Amino acid sequence: MSHVFHRSLTATYPVAMGGDGPYLIDANGKRYLDACGGAAVSCLGHADAAVIAAVQQQIATLAYAHSAFFTSEPMEQLADFLVARAPAGIDSVYFVSGGSEAVESALKMARQYFVERGQPQRRHVIARRQSYHGNTLGALATGGNAWRRQQFEPLLIGVTHVSPCYAWRDQAAYETDGDYVARLGQELEDNIAELGADNVMAFIAEPVVGATVGALPAITGYFARMRAICQRHGILLILDEVMCGMGRTGSLFACEQEAITADLICIAKGLGAGYQPIGAVMVSKDIRDTLRAGTGFFQHGHTYIGHATACAAALAVQRQIEERDLLANVRAMGGLLKERLHQRFDGHAHVGDIRGRGLFLGLELVQERASKQPFDPARRLHARIKAHAMQGGLMCYPMGGTIDGLHGDHILLAPPYIIAASHIDELVDKLGTAI
């Protein structure tokens, strides 16, 4: 028996031995088309020659220098690269080793920001139901997935969860409501009023919701409205772009398509594309200046901040994406994949919705299309689809269960930005067989 403490202590896993572009290869030589990048991580595919060379060179030169003593060339260059391409107002980058660390750091930065400004009571967070922000205790508290939180309560920070914004299951309300976005804005306003604006430090949201619901973008105008409400009350906006950022939706930052910026933006996954563990919080000049004018020190840190090899890997990944114009491929192949999914599944009795942006797409599974009635969560349809897909040599990311009032099984697709039309045919074919 394996001595690895896997996430599932009962399942058995194939041993991954190698990677080749959009494929992973197991110990038996079986090839799996990686149609989800793991969890929207491997955006450049596997074994990219330029990234391998950059990592090898960096390890040979300087693998690691502790950030309490040194900065490093790749860390400086990566920060410059990201800030030059960031939404307006973003001024600096705090590097960490993954998404949960990024969210945890953003929450603590927001908290310290208000302490430095003499408003220490501003510590409550408003988040959204059905969101996912990570698994460390602070990030977990903000996540809108009640069953994930339950076992670990009481959690460490005060969080109020409000409605997310996607019209699919809510279509009737959306269509008859007249102004769905205004209603959600009012809900946020009501919660702020109830908590007292002076007690609220941040509103956190994923621009396109990933892990819990399968690539659901918000309705046009929603984020601009939420941003305006936050600004009016002096509440910081934290955008969690850990999954949807770094080109996944067709623009480097997902919030570009919402025409908003934020006070803090969390990124990870596609930043290092899996070549090294890395994440970051990108912060506004106001946050940096406030912390600098106060103690001048962020009261938080990790051993591997700005890890030189991780930064070199991420820099190489981002340069590859830019030099090879891979975001154009994300948009083109994303459009083609969506079209092929519609062709294949529009007539399927149990595929209720096909959605998403760029190469960040989701399929929702239903018992019946007209009523959008989900399957009984006890059937664990998502787990069975995952098993069938793996058997057929396809990695996709099905999820399901009951997520804070939302039932349903869905499949997330997040293939690498390098895929070609032939991979899309293979993907849709294998997915059809698995479903």
CA-to-CA distance for 43 and 248, rounded, in angstroms?
Answer: 8
Cβ-based nearer residue to ligand PMP, 101 or 116: 101
Q: How many CA atoms lie within 13 A of 220 on its CB side?
A: 0
198: which 2 tokens?
Answer: 């002076």
Smallest gap, in angstroms, from Cβ of residue 307 to ligand PMP?
A: 14
Cβ-based nearer residue to ligand PMP, 94 or 174: 94
The stretch near ligand PMP (CB under 6 A) out of 114-122, 129-137, 249-257, 423-431 is 129-137
The three-class DSSP label of residue 330 is helix
Smallest gap, in angstroms, from Cβ of residue 206 to ligand PMP?
A: 5
234: which 2 tokens?
Answer: 């002096």
410 binds ligand PMP (CB under 6 A): no
Residue in the shown chain whose Cβ atom is closest to ligand PMP: 99
Burial of 344 (0-12, 13-18, 19+ CB in 10 A): middle
Contact positions with ligand PMP (CB under 6 A) in 314-373: none
Among 165, 243, 255, 428, binds ligand PMP (CB under 6 A): 243
Cβ-based nearer residue to ligand PMP, 55 or 414: 414
104 binds ligand PMP (CB under 6 A): no
Residue matched to tokens 């009640």? 146
Smallest gap, in angstroms, from Cβ of residue 120 to ligand PMP?
A: 26
Residue 263 · residue 88 · CB < 8 Å:
no
Among 43, 110, 242, 321, binds ligand PMP (CB under 6 A): 242
Q: CA dihedral defined by 180, 183, 185, 190, rounded to 10 degrees?
A: -160
**Residue 412, phi then psi, degrees to nearest 5:** -95, 135
Cβ-based nearer residue to ligand PMP, 95 or 180: 95
With a CB cutoff of 8 Å and minimum separation 6, the contacts of 261 are: 87, 88, 89, 90, 227, 255, 284
Smallest gap, in angstroms, from Cβ of residue 245 to ligand PMP?
A: 9
300: which 2 tokens?
Answer: 């938080």
CA-to-CA distance for 243 and 413, rounded, in angstroms?
Answer: 12
With a CB cutoff of 8 Å and minimum separation 6, the contacts of 133 are: 100, 103, 127, 139, 140, 142, 143, 204, 206, 240, 242
Cβ-based nearer residue to ligand PMP, 240 or 353: 240
| Residues composing the chain | 435
End-to-end alpha carbon distance in the chain:
31
96 binds ligand PMP (CB under 6 A): no
Among 45, 134, 207, 352, binds ligand PMP (CB under 6 A): 134
Residue 192 · residue 199 · CB < 8 Å:
no
The stretch near ligand PMP (CB under 6 A) out of 8-16, 206-214, 365-373, 407-415 is 206-214
Smallest gap, in angstroms, from Cβ of residue 134 to ligand PMP?
A: 4
Size of the site for ligand PMP (CB under 6 A): 15
Cβ-based nearer residue to ligand PMP, 86 or 215: 215
Cβ-based nearer residue to ligand PMP, 22 or 98: 98
Cβ-based nearer residue to ligand PMP, 116 or 240: 240
Among 23, 132, 174, 304, binds ligand PMP (CB under 6 A): 132
74 binds ligand PMP (CB under 6 A): no
Among 78, 86, 96, 103, binds ligand PMP (CB under 6 A): 103
Residue from 17, 20, 14, 25 nearest 45 by CA: 20
With a CB cutoff of 8 Å and minimum separation 6, the contacts of 358 are: 247, 248, 249, 250, 251, 330, 331, 334
Cβ-based nearer residue to ligand PMP, 78 or 424: 78
Cβ-based nearer residue to ligand PMP, 99 or 358: 99
Contact positions with ligand PMP (CB under 6 A) in 24-53: 39
CA-to-CA distance for 273 and 278, rounded, in angstroms?
Answer: 9
Among 48, 206, 263, 353, binds ligand PMP (CB under 6 A): 206
The stretch near ligand PMP (CB under 6 A) out of 128-136, 304-312, 398-406, 411-419 is 128-136
Contact positions with ligand PMP (CB under 6 A) in 209-238: 210-211
With the C-alpha atoms ordered 100, 103, 109, 110, is the resulting torsion angle positive or negative? negative
Among 67, 72, 92, 100, binds ligand PMP (CB under 6 A): 100
User: What residue ranges bind ligand PMP (CB under 6 A)?
Assistant: 39, 98-100, 103, 132-134, 206, 210-211, 240, 242-243, 268
